[in-house]
Chain A
Amino acid sequence: MKARALLSRVGSPETLRGILIQLIAILMAFAVGAVVLLVTGYNPIDAYAAMLRGAFGDVFRVGQTLTQATPIIFTALAFLFSFKSGLFNIGAEGQFLAGAFASALVGISFQNLPAPLHVLLALVAGAVAGGLWGLIPAVLKTRFGAHEVITTMMLSYVALYLTSYMVNYPFKAPGWVSQTVMIAESARLPRLLQGAQLSASIFIALALVALTRFILNRTILGYEIRATGLNPSAAENAGIDVKRGMILALVVSGAIAGLGGSGEIMGVHRRFIDGFSPGYGWDGLAVALVGGLSPVGALLAAILFGALRSGGMIMTRATGVPLDIVFLLQALVILFVAAPALIRAILKKGGLRW
């Protein structure tokens, strides 16, 4: 009884059921992964134990997990924010890169600014650049009806090759690597652990989790964005400016992704390196879905994905299991999460009532 009262404070029965299904999906992914490990001649218990140690074994490993999780918290929030207004912004990668490059530019352009100001300036530049990269598809959508799935995706490639050009030609640092020079000390986000890459960017990510949650669930803007996403005709009838809501949602979404890029540059790499993002923007989409399209869910799912990566490296080192198993697990998690009907059917077979 007490547990139920506690649970009902977390969310409605619908929400709780959703969370449970999500958890089962993740467990099933690991179960199938274990089968694959067995078949290929590895001991799944040893492998998973090594992975767990690698992800959460000590403070340093937790730091590595969070470092991996940080950028995809941003991109997952970006995806879900626009999704709430009914738009699929699958171009977080481009907005992420735009933000990253803008911050790098501010970082290398000034040398004598006081640190807080320089950091702030670089962050704002990242948010603005990401927001602009979201504004373009928003305008194309509301003015000309161009589908945002196409435009956001295409603009990702524009951002990718444009930044690549920038660091190969006008802003290339001396040497053979395609990268900018280091950003000024004053523009760097502090690192949190000795010898690890975890930076204060994680705090910005956490603040954004709280902020998006607040905006979506508490503010007029969030209410109007959600109404627009769930039933645009009814929203319009209620006097809500549907187009304005969509534009705002995409701009904010882009700004969030842009800040993620800023965090990587200012906290981890300290310069813009060509190809530094292994596809954080695309990961964000998957993470947002695994997190049930809620900000807190996105945070938890991002940590899961971060843990898989940091733990995976240790697993490979300790047990010789190829790192590919990590990507297999990721894919399985996404697959099972994307098929809630499958999970329900399996649960039903097992005699559980829904």
Chain B
Amino acid sequence: MAPAVEMRGITKTFPGVTANDDIDFTVEKGEIHGLLGENGAGKTVLMSVLYGLYRPDAGETYIDGERAEIESPAAAMSLGIGMVHQHFMLVPSLTVAENVVLGREPAKNGLIDEGEMLERVRASCTKYRLDVDVEAPIHTLSVGVQQKVEILKALHRGADILILDEPTAVLTPQEAEDLFRAVRSLRDQGKTVIFISHKLREVLSICDRITVLKRGKVVGTVAASETDMGELAEMMVGRRVVYSFEKAEVAPGEAVLSVEGLEALDDRGVPTLRGVDLEVRGSEILGLAGVEGNGQTELVEALMGLREAKAGRVSLCSTDITRASSYERIRAGVSHIPEDRHKRGFIPDFTVTENLILGSHREARFTRRGFVIDYEAAASHSQALVEDYSIATPGVGTHAGNLSGGNQQKVIVAREFDRDPRLVIAAQPTRGLDVGATEYVRKKLLEMRDGGSAVLLVSADLDEIWALSDRIAVIYEGRIVAVREPAETDETELGLLMTGGRRG
């Protein structure tokens, strides 16, 4: 029997990155096939090629043994391929049934035939054993049920091959169990499922076979019954080229940041930080390793005063700042390189100068008479920073949005480091930057450490954690599960800790 999907030699490059490098990928009919890899390993790109969202630069795709040119999602759907994205594509104000038939509504006399629509969607629910109230408006449903609606939508449109992109990322553990049951039931009905994930435990528990990607290449395909977490972690994280940095021997100083039992909710109100204990000392880089979505974002926001602490204590140099505002924390010497620079980091429609004083704009050196901003002083200060940090810009009066990504990040780094901070919180500081800019930002982080600052480095990139950290803390499901010296751990252990495969 021909495999459901066979992709041969798929290569897809984007400016500066090879997302997929000569990938061979085969999925048999009626199996649940895991696609495992870290963020940026190329999983989603490969599946986007299969679903017709991207055209590959090279390579061929065969569906049920037939050569297929998949030029669009519509073409993919007509071949029986359905995809459920991480971000749902549902219309919140419409009902389940209306969403499911959207674009191909049964019509009578130019109007939607409500009865026919409900009957058909209910039939699909029964057929695929997905228990959903088809008349409920989407916005009244939990995320877990919305996901089922997405699956139902794909199946209703005739999908035999179902791609689930990180389906558990948005689910509670109970909802995830529910999803797994539904997926197994679909497999038993002969559907083929491709399950994208970076969580070892769930991939092992639900998949029949697993293909591991790393840096755009296939590391290997294994049967779930013949492998274990240790092997998968090693395949996924693997031996790495560690960038060599001249790291000066500096004795760590006193504790600058102390976090005890910190708890916080995420935007949905789900407890996401569940008792974080952490200490960062002066002249030390503490690397926070972890798979994304384990509470890193919430931790950083709670430390910056942007998210309310439900319990626990945060202190800076033995001063309690748990209830301090962001402004007070900045004044007390906390600098922050946000993970999403467009959202939190800077203002594209502000000039370079206006961005470089953001957060320092009330300081005496940039103001006159207490209420006027001294734009001349700010501009000459900016000019100096532009030179010091070699920011490539036509001038300090240019809108910051016109700068390249690397230079935008340099603007943020220059602004935050120039404050002479006691604590630097750097979240994904090199994400999306080219090699040169990455190198630069890492060097600067080391300089801050050598200068006596405490640095909390939050990164999804283990290389970065490995290259820079004096100590490594691992976060998993809202708790710090281990703290290690780089010398006393290895990649396999970190991989296991990050994916919940082992407790510290």
Q: State whether A234 touches B372 (Cβ < 8 A).
A: no
What distance in Å separates the Cβ of A233 from its nearest Cβ neighbour in chain B?
Answer: 5
Q: How far is the CA of A12 from the CA of B367 in the complex (A)?
A: 23
Q: How far is the CA of A239 from the CA of B304 in the complex (A)?
A: 9
Q: How far is the CA of A220 from the CA of B366 in the complex (A)?
A: 10
Q: Does B52 contact A (CB under 8 A)?
A: no
Q: State whether B350 touches A227 (Cβ < 8 A).
A: yes
Q: How far is the CA of A219 from the CA of B367 in the complex (A)?
A: 9
Q: Does B56 contact A (CB under 8 A)?
A: no
Q: How far is the CA of A236 from the CA of B349 in the complex (A)?
A: 16
Q: B397 is contacted by which of A12, A218, A236, A237 (Cβ under 8 Å)?
A: A12
Per-residue A-contact encoding for B355-399, CB less than 8 Å = 1, 0 else: 000110110000100011101000000000000000000000101
Q: Does A14 contact B (CB under 8 A)?
A: yes
Q: How far is the CA of A32 from the CA of B356 in the complex (A)?
A: 46
What distance in Å separates the Cβ of B298 from its nearest Cβ neighbour in chain A?
Answer: 14
Q: Does A240 contact B (CB under 8 A)?
A: yes
Which B residue sits closest to A227, measured CB to CB? B347
Q: A227: which B residues are within 8 A, CB to CB?
A: 347, 350, 354, 358
Q: How far is the CA of A218 from the CA of B367 in the complex (A)?
A: 10
Q: B347: which A residues are within 8 A, CB to CB?
A: 227, 230-231, 234-235
Known: A230-B350, A237-B338. A223 touches B343 (CB 8 A): no
Q: B354 is contacted by which of A14, A223, A236, A239 (Cβ under 8 Å)?
A: A223
Known: A14-B399, A218-B372. A238 touches B358 (CB 8 A): yes
What distance in Å separates the Cβ of B484 from its nearest Cβ neighbour in chain A?
Answer: 30
Q: State whether A239 touches B325 (Cβ < 8 A).
A: yes
Q: A240 is contacted by which of B327, B346, B350, B367 (Cβ under 8 Å)?
A: B327
Q: A231: which B residues are within 8 A, CB to CB?
A: 343, 346-348
Q: Does B186 contact A (CB under 8 A)?
A: no
Q: How far is the CA of A223 from the CA of B358 in the complex (A)?
A: 9
Instruction: List B residues 335-350 near A (Cβ within 8 Å).
Output: 336, 338, 343-350
What distance in Å separates the Cβ of A266 from its nearest Cβ neighbour in chain B?
Answer: 30
What distance in Å separates the Cβ of B343 from its nearest Cβ neighbour in chain A?
Answer: 5
Q: Does A46 contact B (CB under 8 A)?
A: no
Q: How far is the CA of A231 from the CA of B338 in the complex (A)?
A: 14
Q: Does B315 contact A (CB under 8 A)?
A: no
Q: Does A221 contact B (CB under 8 A)?
A: yes
Q: State whether A236 touches B373 (Cβ < 8 A).
A: no
Q: B327: which A residues are within 8 A, CB to CB?
A: 239-241
Q: A219 is contacted by which of B306, B345, B373, B399 (Cβ under 8 Å)?
A: B373
What distance in Å separates the Cβ of B195 from its nearest Cβ neighbour in chain A?
Answer: 33
Other than the given A14-B399, A218-B372, A234-B347, 17 more pairs (CB < 8 A) read: A219-B372, A219-B373, A227-B347, A227-B354, A230-B348, A230-B350, A231-B347, A231-B348, A234-B343, A234-B344, A234-B346, A235-B347, A236-B306, A237-B304, A238-B359, A239-B326, A239-B331
